[in-house]
Amino acid sequence: AAIVASHEHPDFIVNVKETGHILLVDYSNIDDLAVTDIGAAR
């Protein structure tokens, strides 16, 4: 897996290579994380 942080926005991009998923994690509200799953071509 790879985790990339944004310098401009409260977001992480998590690339889970084993499953083929890319997750966009918005941590602007740390008590209620918003996770968006982006499908990736394998």
CB-based contact 20:6 (threshold 8 Å): no
Ordered strands of the 11-16 beta sheet: 2-5, 11-16, 21-26, 34-39
Q: Print pLDDT tens along the chain (42 aa).
A: 899 999 999 999 999 888 889 999 999 999 999 999 998 876
pLDDT at position 42: 64
pLDDT at position 17: 85
- Name the pTM for this structure: 0.76
pLDDT at position 20: 87
CB-based contact 39:21 (threshold 8 Å): yes
pLDDT at position 5: 94
